[in-house]
Amino acid sequence: MEKKYLIVNPGSASRKYAVYSDGIEIFRTHFERENGGFVVAKKNADHEEKIKISEREFDESAEKTLAFLIADGIIADKNEISAVGFRIVASGDYFIKTKLIDGEYVKKLTEVQEMAPLHISAALSEIQKFTALIRGVPFVGVSDSAFHATMPEKARLYALPIRFGYHGISVQSVLRTARELIGKIPSRIIVCHLGSGSSITAVKDGKCLDTSMGFTPLEGVVMGTRPGDIDAGALIYLAKKLNLSPSELDEFLNQKCGLFGLSGKTNDVRELIALSEKGDENAKLALEIFAYRVQKYIGAYFAALGGLDLGNYP
């Protein structure tokens, strides 16, 4: 029997699942909020569809995905899953490598939860769910920072703690696709991962030269609910002016800024485009700021790379 591997990608605003067999994706689900409700996009080898779901079904996306897998005949039973891989967005040297998930791994992931709360809380929740749903198979934490370990020190270091970078798994996927399409990986590439969480990465000869996210996933371009690059002095001012504790400031920066804070309405680019077309100036401004910040990073990395052979927007 061919081995089947389940990949779990708990994002900051969505949940994605995929099953691979022999290195080929044979099934995928993508749960997200859309137009004030919840949907799941489901794809297998023969069919692709988008289904409206309830909030409860969104919260139970892991169980729903396993039910889809059985209903679509991908597996006859959940015990046919040979291993489960989880995308892990976490700071620290411990998480720079892909590792088996055990008690120590979960303990250390919990300890650094404050570094990337939107991602780590989601990852811990998914690990807990699948621990109850699928027993006796390896769980693997796939580092989202491993690809960026090749950054030179001039790009990697702050005058404070080190930078780790994120979305490395996405960048590696783009490089594989480039090799498949054109037969090689071009020497100088800029990869733009644009979603609720966004980052820009400069790739030189297949290795990370620099990337926009840093010690945590807060740094870089403006994102759905995160501000991206911001003057450190502004954070001190905000904490004092709004009388915010460190925990409250952390919540504010992760959940109330970015496109949501600029528009005052939503962090969904599709909704912002619709609002902008109806004359909403705040929505229009949010989109303009987002595009401008992306352009700035592309320009900076064009200079750092000394030119460009390929740009990609996954």
Task: Work out the pLDDT band at 237, boundaries 50, 70, 90.
Answer: confident
Judge whether 15 is annotated as a binding position: no
**Residue 4, pLDDT above cutoff 80:** yes
Token pair for residue 5?
A: 């591997």
Residue with tokens 């996210």: 213
**What is the mean predicted confidence (pLDDT) over 153-172?**
82
CB atoms inside a 10 Å sphere around CB 240: 9
Q: Lowest-pLDDT range, 4-13, 159-168, 219-228?
A: 159-168
**In the prediction, which pLDDT does 114 show?**
84
Total residue count of the chain as it appears in this document: 314
**In the prediction, which pLDDT does 155 show?**
83
The class (CATH top level) of 149-312 is alpha beta
Judge whether 261 is annotated as a binding position: no
CA angle, 56 as apex, 37 and 135 as ends, to 5°? 130
222, 190 Cβ separation under 8 angstroms: no
* Distance between CA atoms of residues 295 and 300, nearest Å: 9
Judge whether 44 is annotated as a binding position: no
**What is the mean predicted confidence (pLDDT) over 131-155?**
91
Judge whether 206 is annotated as a binding position: no
More confident residue, 282 or 116: 282
Judge whether 16 is annotated as a binding position: yes
Residues of the chain with CATH 3.30.420.40: 4-143, 149-312
The class (CATH top level) of 4-143 is alpha beta
Task: Work out the pLDDT band at 160, boundaries 50, 70, 90.
Answer: low
256, 225 Cβ separation under 8 angstroms: yes
User: What's the alpha-carbon Rg for the chain, to the nearest Å?
Assistant: 20
Judge whether 197 is annotated as a binding position: yes
**Residue 158, pLDDT above cutoff 80:** no
Catalytic residue among 46, 77, 144, 210: 144
Q: Is 144 a catalytic residue?
A: yes
Judge whether 270 is annotated as a binding position: yes
For the chain, what percentages of helix, strand and coil (3-state, to nearest 5) are there? 45, 25, 30
Mean pLDDT of the chain: 92
64, 90 Cβ separation under 8 angstroms: no
Task: Identify the three-state secondary structure at position 5.
Answer: strand
**Residue 258, pLDDT above cutoff 70:** yes
CA angle, 291 as apex, 288 and 295 as ends, to 5°? 135
* 188-211 residue pLDDT tens: 999 999 999 999 999 999 999 999
**Residue 40, pLDDT above cutoff 90:** yes
Give the global pTM. 0.73
**Residue 118, pLDDT above cutoff 60:** yes
